[in-house]
Structure 1
C-alpha cells in the first residue's frame, strides 16, 4: 500500500497588528507604520512594508528603528482588536479545515493529506484564503508543500499577500537559490558562521557532505543538512479550544472565609500564569470553578485579550469569583483554568507599559526557576503561619 502524499499549508497574516490598525484607520495606508513601544524604549512588534523599506524589522530596538525611519507613525497597539481578529480567522479555518494547528496569534498550519482523493488541495487552499480575506479584510499569505518546513519558507517568499505551491518533488529546486538565513532558526551568529564556511545559499548546503556540516556545526549542522534537502517530519498539532492549564485545591475544611478564598484564588492564578510563561504561551480565556460541600460544582468563564501576566489574569479571576460565589456558603474546592492558549508570548508582551512589566516577570520567573516556585509570592497569598515562620 503506497504512502499518502502529504500536503501541508502554512497561513500567515501579513504584518498582522499593522493590518488591523489600517482597518481601524484607513488613512494610515501606504505610510510607514510601526507597532511597538515608545520612541525611546521597547522593540518593534511589527511594521508596515513601507517602514521595512527603511530597514526596520520586528524585534528591532525602537531607538534604532526611529533612527532608520524618523518619519514613522508609531502606534502602541490595540490588543483587544488583535485578539478579536485572531479568533475570527481561527473560527473560519476551524469551520473548513479537517486538521489545523494554531502556531501563534497570526499563524496557522493546515494538514490536507488525503484530501487530494476528493479535490485539488491547492485550489481548496486558495479558496480558504479568499474566504478569510473577504470576511476579515485582512491580507494573508500561504505556502503549500509536502511538509511544515517548506510550507513556512514558501509563505515567507509569497509575502506580501500572496501564495506559493511547492509541488511534491520540487522541494530542493525551490530551496536551492534561497539564502541560508531563510531556514527558520538560523540566527545572525549561525548565518555568519555559515557564510564564513562559504555557505551562502541553501543549495550550498546540499553541495556539502553531511559529515562536513557535522564537523563544523555539530548536531545542528546535521539538522540543517536534512532541512536543506527538504526533509522535515514535524506533524500538524491539532488545535483544541479546550487545551488549557489549570490548578485547583480541595480544602481540608470547608470554608466561607472570603479573604482566604481570594488569597487562594490569587495563589492558584499566579501558579498557572507562571506555567503559561514557561510554556511561552498566551491565554485567551479564564475559568473559575467552585465546588460546595454537597459536591455541587459551578464554573464561569470569560474570553480576554491574550496575555500571560499575573496582574491581568488575577483581576479577571477575582471578578469571576465574585459573580459566581454564593455569599456565606462554605466552599469545598476552588479552581482556576486558563484556556484558548496560543504561542508567541512576546507578541502579547509589547503593548501598554509592558516592557518594564515583562522584564519584571522575567526576573521573578528567573528567581523561581533558581530557588523554587515558592521563593516569591504575592503578599496576599502569604498566610499567617508563613509570616510567623
Structure 2
C-alpha cells in the first residue's frame, strides 16, 4: 500500500508561512505531480513528506499511520534527488545495494534485489562500472534503482530530470512512466516543467504561495482551470487575457463586449454578473488566422519558428506586448507586419473580478472525458 494524507499541513520559517494548511489525499498507485512557481512550497512539502523537514502544524499520514515524529527511514518512503548523490568510488552495484547493506540484508537476497532493479532500469550490463563512466541519464537510473531496492510504500522525486539535457529529459520521462506502470507504486514528483507534469501525472497539484490552487487530471486543468493563476500557469505559451464587460446572461452562456465586438461564451452564468468587468481567456493555440466569432489585429514583434508551429508574440490593437498566437509552421508571419486573427467563443474561458473561473461547457469526446477522470481507465 502507499496511501498518503496531508491534513492541514503548515510550515513556518520564523513568522513566514511557507505552507498554509495543505489538505491532500494521494491514493495507492497514483502518480501525483506537484507544480508551481519558484517559492510556492512544492519542494518544502515533498521534504516534509520525506521527513527531512518537520511540520509546524497538521498531520502527515501514510497508510493510516501518523508519521510526523518518525525519522525518514521509518516512513516507508524513498527519495530521488535532483543531484544523483552517488558514491563515485563505488560500482553501480554497490551504489544500488547501499541502503540494503545498511539494513545488513543477507547477501543472496541483496544480490537478487539489486539485479532485479538493474534489469528493470536496463543497467544490468553496467553493474561493475563506476558512476564516472555513465551518462547523466544512466546515473539518474542508478539513483532510482537505489530507491527501488528498498521497496518503499511511496517514491518521492525532487526535480530529478532538471540536470539532464532536453533529449535525455524526454527519454527519462518515458522511462519513468513505464516504471510507474510496471511497479504500480505510489509516486509523488516535484517539477517546474509543465511538459513533465502533463505527460506523466495521473493528477497534478498546482501550488501557489503555499496553497493548493487546483488539483486534477492534466486535461482537466487544461480545459477547466479553476482560476486565472492555474489558467496562466498550465499551458505553454501561457493563456492570453483580455478585459471585457458582461452585457448579458442566459441559462448556459454569458455575453461579453470587447471593444464593440460581442462574444457569447458557453459558461454557466452567475447572479448579478451583467454590467461587471470580467476577463476573457484564450490559449495561443486557439488563435486562428483571419475570421472568428471576434477578430483582432495583432502586430508580431518576436517570432519563434519551431517547424510544425510558429509562435508570434505580438502587440494587440496598440495595447502593448501582451498577446501570443501559436500558428501553423507554414504561415508566413513577419515581424512588425499587422495581421488579422480570430477567436471562437467555444475556445474561450471567462473569469470574474476575483480571477475565479466560470464553469465551462466543453464539448469533449468520450476518450477525453475518461482522461479527465483517470480512475475511469483503471
With structure 1 as the length reference, what TM-score do the two structures score? Answer: 0.27
Larger relative strand fraction: 2
